[in-house]
């Protein structure tokens, strides 16, 4: 018996798309198809796999005029921002560029008697569970290197962006990637758990909530299936006394509010040195007051609705609790705020770490700002979190930033920038943000396993 997934558009609450889920038997049959196709795919020359993946990426790009409004309907990002293809293409292209060196044999030694080396071999079937907030870019982080490395891929997207996986699979198939090598699926939670627990996959990559990550680990318990997790975040920014103030304001506010705050590495709390605090606040409030909240299909809209009413309800609750506890809200309710998915972006001061808005992931357009007097105080506050994805430091002193960064519990340290994935660097986190890592050479290492060869030569 199958169910049905419904994508509810945040624009007006209407049902934008529906898809039937696979039954348990159908889902296991799909996984078996992927497993049966994997050996032949891995046997193809590396260059052929690279070329096919890049052709698939280009085919997605050719759909961009359809993709951009479709994303606006599904998750509310304004059409003025043009979709995700630039980052999608950048990440896939970089992983293609480094594939040969990343997957090359590690030569240990050879003499007249022995030849020793370590190969990187594909896991087999990789299951990618992708989120809705950046549905194309987050998916390609794993899909491209997994396929290039010789794995087959089964992709499951979040219901909020129901059509993304279908589009990606269609594009890749049109470019020549075999249908059983890259398969999009529609699954409910129970069937997903059954597949993982039933060893249908050799590796699982999940991007989503902490609760979702725990469910993935529980399903995989005892199967010895590798699980990579990129979960929540509460990323801080720290503005030191010698920072470029205008650049810090523009970047950190944008990192807090872009995509209605629904960014994995969005800035959710900011600590500003007391000497710059008043000026920072004045400029930050002016920036946010200049936003236009409205229908994402309108080219004048700069901030659209949150992807779902329940997400906006949680952010409103965090803001209300903070204000009741003494926080000060600086942005008046905007005309477009409907009390549902359309939410006024907010800046809060007089906040403390006793408030949920400074401790729990908000994943919405709200940021708390605190005054600090020293690096030591800022470091203690930045580390006072269950999460560790990125941190954004602002100073003209690179060595100082490195010294501060070395003391922070985080996956990435940014200096004078924020909210960006460099595909040459490992995308990783610590604490409740998860484990593992994508992109870079380490991304390839996580999507393959080492296989050692110790070959004794026959000599007479």
Active site residues: 230, 264
Q: Is pLDDT above 90 for 49?
A: yes
* CATH number assigned to the domain with residue range 4-231+433-456, chosen from the 4 options 3.40.50.1950, 1.20.59.20, 3.20.20.10, 3.40.605.10: 3.40.605.10
What number is the average pLDDT over the span 134-155? 98
What number is the average pLDDT over the span 191-200? 98
pTM: 0.97
> Taking a C-beta distance cutoff of 8 angstroms, is the pair 133, 262 a contact?
yes
Q: Is pLDDT above 70 for 270?
A: yes
Q: What is the DSSP string of 314-360?
A: HHHHHHHHHHHTT-EE-SPPPTT--SSS----EEEES--TTSGGGTS
Give the percent of the chain with pLDDT over 90.
Answer: 99
Q: What is the pLDDT of residue 1?
A: 60
Question: Which tens digit of pLDDT belongs to each residue from 83-93?
Answer: 999 999 999 99
The CA-based diameter of the chain, rounded to the nearest angstrom, is 88
What number is the average pLDDT over the span 232-248? 98
Quote the tokens at residue 195: 């597949």
> Taking a C-beta distance cutoff of 8 angstroms, is the pair 345, 255 a contact?
no
For strands 267-273 and 235-239, give the pairing: parallel
Q: What is the pLDDT of residue 97?
A: 98
Report the C-alpha gap between 33 and 421 in whole angstroms.
33
Question: What's the distance, CA 153 to chain centroid?
Answer: 18
- CATH class given for the domain over 235-423: alpha beta
User: pLDDT-based confidence at 2, cuts 50/70/90?
Assistant: confident
What number is the average pLDDT over the span 206-229? 97
Report the C-alpha gap between 369 and 352 in whole angstroms.
9
User: pLDDT-based confidence at 308, cuts 50/70/90?
Assistant: very high
Give the percent of the chain with pLDDT over 70.
Answer: 100
Question: Which tens digit of pLDDT belongs to each residue from 174-190?
Answer: 999 999 999 999 999 99
Q: Is pLDDT above 70 for 370?
A: yes
Average confidence score pLDDT of the chain: 97
The secondary structure of 76-142, three-state, reads CCCHHHCCCHHHHHHHHHHHHHCHHHHCCCEEEEECCCEEEEEEEEECCEEEEEECCCCHHHHHHHH
Question: Which tens digit of pLDDT belongs to each residue from 421-459?
Answer: 999 999 999 999 999 999 999 999 999 999 999 999 998
Candidates 179, 128, 135; CA nearest to 7 is 135
């Amino acid at each position: 018996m199958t169910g049905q997934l419904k994508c509810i558009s945040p624009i007006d609450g209407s049902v934008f798309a529906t898809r039937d889920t696979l039954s348990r038997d159908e889902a296991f049959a799909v996984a078996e198809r992927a497993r049966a196709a994997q050996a032949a795919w891995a046997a193809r020359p590396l260059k052929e796999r690279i070329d096919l993946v890049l052709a698939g990426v280009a085919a997605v790009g050719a759909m961009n005029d359809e993709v951009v409004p479709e994303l606006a309907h599904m998750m509310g990002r304004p059409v003025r921002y043009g979709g995700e293809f630039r980052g999608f293409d950048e990440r896939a292209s970089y992983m293609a560029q480094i594939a040969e060196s990343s997957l090359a044999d590690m030569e240990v030694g050879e003499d007249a008697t022995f030849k020793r080396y370590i190969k990187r071999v594909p896991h087999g079937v990789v299951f990618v569970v992708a989120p809705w907030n950046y549905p194309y870019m987050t998916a390609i982080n794993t899909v491209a290197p997994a396929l290039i490395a010789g794995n087959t891929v089964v992709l499951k997207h979040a219901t909020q962006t129901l059509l993304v996986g279908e589009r990606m699979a269609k594009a890749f198939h049109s470019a020549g990637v075999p249908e059983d090598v890259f398969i999009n699926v529609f699954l409910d939670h129970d069937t997903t758990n059954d597949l993982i627990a039933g060893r249908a996959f050799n590796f699982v990559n999940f991007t989503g909530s902490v609760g979702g990550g725990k469910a993935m680990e529980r399903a995989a318990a005892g199967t010895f299936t590798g699980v990579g997790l990129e979960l929540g975040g509460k990323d801080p920014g720290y503005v030191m006394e010698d920072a470029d103030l205008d650049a810090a304001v523009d970047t950190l506010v944008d990192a807090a509010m872009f995509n209605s705050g629904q960014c994995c590495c969005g800035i959710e709390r900011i600590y500003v040195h007391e000497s710059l605090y008043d000026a920072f606040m004045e400029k930050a409030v002016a920036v946010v007051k200049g936003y236009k909240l409205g229908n994402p299909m309108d080219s004048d809209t700069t901030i659209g609705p949150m992807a779902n009413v329940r997400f906006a309800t949680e952010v409103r609750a965090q803001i209300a609790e903070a204000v009741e506890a003494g926080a000060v809200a600086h942005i008046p309710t905007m005309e477009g705020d409907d009390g549902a998915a359309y939410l006024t972006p907010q800046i809060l001061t007089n906040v403390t770490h006793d408030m949920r808005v400074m401790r729990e992931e908000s994943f919405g357009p709200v940021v708390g700002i605190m005054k600090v007097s020293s690096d030591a105080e800022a470091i203690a506050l930045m580390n006072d979190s269950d999460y560790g994805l990125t941190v954004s430091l602002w100073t003209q002193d690179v060595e100082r930033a490195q010294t501060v960064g070395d003391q922070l519990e985080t996956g990435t340290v940014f200096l004078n920038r924020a909210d960006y994935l460099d595909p040459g660097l490992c995308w990783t986190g610590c604490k409740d943000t998860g484990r593992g890592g994508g992109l870079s050479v380490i991304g390839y290492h996580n999507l393959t396993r080492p296989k050692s060869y110790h070959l004794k030569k026959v000599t007479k």
